[in-house]
Protein backbone atom coordinates (compact mmCIF):
# COMPACT_ATOMS: atom_id res chain seq x y z
CA UNK A 1 0.00 0.00 0.00
CA UNK A 2 2.85 2.32 0.59
CA UNK A 3 3.80 2.24 -3.05
CA UNK A 4 0.28 3.16 -3.99
CA UNK A 5 0.27 6.26 -1.82
CA UNK A 6 3.55 7.43 -3.31
CA UNK A 7 2.42 6.83 -6.88
CA UNK A 8 -0.77 8.87 -6.58
CA UNK A 9 1.00 12.14 -5.76
CA UNK A 10 3.35 11.50 -8.68
CA UNK A 11 0.40 10.90 -11.02
CA UNK A 12 -1.31 14.05 -9.73
CA UNK A 13 1.86 16.04 -10.29
CA UNK A 14 2.15 14.73 -13.86
CA UNK A 15 -1.51 15.53 -14.57
CA UNK A 16 -1.13 19.04 -13.13
CA UNK A 17 2.07 19.59 -15.13
CA UNK A 18 0.42 18.45 -18.37
CA UNK A 19 -2.58 20.68 -17.63
CA UNK A 20 -0.32 23.69 -16.98
CA UNK A 21 1.61 23.07 -20.19
CA UNK A 22 -1.66 22.82 -22.13
CA UNK A 23 -2.93 26.09 -20.65
CA UNK A 24 0.40 27.80 -21.36
CA UNK A 25 0.23 26.82 -25.04
CA UNK A 26 -3.42 27.85 -25.19
CA UNK A 27 -2.63 31.24 -23.67
CA UNK A 28 0.29 31.85 -26.02
CA UNK A 29 -1.94 31.00 -28.99
CA UNK A 30 -4.65 33.33 -27.67
CA UNK A 31 -2.17 36.16 -27.18
CA UNK A 32 -0.83 35.71 -30.70
CA UNK A 33 -4.35 35.71 -32.12
CA UNK A 34 -5.20 38.82 -30.09
CA UNK A 35 -2.15 40.66 -31.41
CA UNK A 36 -3.06 39.67 -34.96
CA UNK A 37 -6.62 40.96 -34.48
CA UNK A 38 -5.30 44.23 -33.00
CA UNK A 39 -3.06 44.72 -36.05
CA UNK A 40 -6.01 44.13 -38.39
CA UNK A 41 -8.07 46.58 -36.34
CA UNK A 42 -5.32 49.19 -36.59
CA UNK A 43 -5.08 48.73 -40.37
CA UNK A 44 -8.86 49.06 -40.69
CA UNK A 45 -8.82 52.27 -38.64
CA UNK A 46 -6.10 53.73 -40.88
CA UNK A 47 -8.12 52.78 -43.95
CA UNK A 48 -11.28 54.35 -42.47
CA UNK A 49 -9.37 57.54 -41.75
CA UNK A 50 -8.04 57.63 -45.31
CA UNK A 51 -11.51 57.00 -46.74
CA UNK A 52 -12.98 59.75 -44.54
CA UNK A 53 -10.38 62.17 -45.93
CA UNK A 54 -11.31 61.10 -49.46
CA UNK A 55 -14.98 61.68 -48.68
CA UNK A 56 -14.23 65.17 -47.35
CA UNK A 57 -12.24 65.99 -50.48
CA UNK A 58 -15.01 64.70 -52.74
CA UNK A 59 -17.65 66.69 -50.84
CA UNK A 60 -15.49 69.81 -51.18
CA UNK A 61 -15.11 69.10 -54.89
CA UNK A 62 -18.88 68.63 -55.26
CA UNK A 63 -19.51 71.93 -53.48
CA UNK A 64 -17.01 73.67 -55.78
CA UNK A 65 -18.50 72.11 -58.92
CA UNK A 66 -20.80 75.09 -59.43
CA UNK A 67 -17.99 77.65 -59.48
CA UNK A 68 -16.54 79.16 -62.65
CA UNK A 69 -13.02 78.15 -61.61
CA UNK A 70 -13.97 74.48 -61.37
CA UNK A 71 -15.73 74.52 -64.73
CA UNK A 72 -12.68 76.19 -66.30
CA UNK A 73 -10.32 73.66 -64.69
CA UNK A 74 -12.36 70.71 -66.00
CA UNK A 75 -12.59 72.28 -69.45
CA UNK A 76 -8.82 72.81 -69.58
CA UNK A 77 -7.57 69.62 -67.94
CA UNK A 78 -10.13 67.02 -69.00
CA UNK A 79 -11.39 68.40 -72.30
CA UNK A 80 -8.29 70.26 -73.54
CA UNK A 81 -10.22 73.48 -74.17
CA UNK A 82 -8.64 76.94 -74.23
CA UNK A 83 -9.99 80.47 -73.93
CA UNK A 84 -10.35 82.63 -77.01
CA UNK A 85 -7.07 84.27 -78.13
CA UNK A 86 -4.97 81.87 -76.05
CA UNK A 87 -2.00 80.20 -77.66
CA UNK A 88 -1.26 76.60 -76.79
CA UNK A 89 2.37 75.49 -76.71
CA UNK A 90 2.95 71.75 -76.77
CA UNK A 91 6.27 70.59 -75.36
CA UNK A 92 7.14 67.42 -77.27
CA UNK A 93 9.59 66.27 -74.60
CA UNK A 94 6.79 66.21 -72.00
CA UNK A 95 4.27 64.40 -74.18
CA UNK A 96 0.77 65.76 -74.59
CA UNK A 97 0.68 68.16 -71.64
CA UNK A 98 -0.45 71.69 -72.41
CA UNK A 99 1.41 74.88 -71.56
CA UNK A 100 -1.04 77.75 -71.89
CA UNK A 101 0.03 81.31 -72.50
CA UNK A 102 -2.41 84.22 -72.76
CA UNK A 103 -2.05 86.68 -75.56
CA UNK A 104 -3.59 90.13 -74.96
Mean pLDDT confidence for 4-32: 89
Q: Is residue 50 part of a domain?
A: yes
CB-CB contact of 82 with 76 (8 Å): yes
Counting the structural domains of the chain, the total is: 1
**Residue 3 belongs to a domain:** no
pLDDT at 23: 97
**Does residue 4 carry a pLDDT above 60?**
no
Is 54 inside any structural domain? yes
Residue 54: domain span = 8-79
Q: Is residue 59 part of a domain?
A: yes
Does residue 1 belong to any structural domain of this protein? no
C-alpha dihedral over 31, 35, 40, 45, to 10 degrees?
120
Q: Is the pTM of this model over 0.85?
A: no
Q: What local confidence, expressed as pLDDT, does residue 95 receive? A: 62
Quick: pLDDT tens for 48-99. Answer: 999 999 999 999 988 888 888 888 888 888 888 888 888 877 788 876 555 5
Note the pLDDT of residue 103. 47
For residue 85, the 8-state DSSP code is T
Give the residue with greater pLDDT, 1 vs 6: 6
Amino acid sequence: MRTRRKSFPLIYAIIILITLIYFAFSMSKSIGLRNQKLEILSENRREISSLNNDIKNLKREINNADTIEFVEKVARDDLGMVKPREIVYIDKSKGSSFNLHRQN
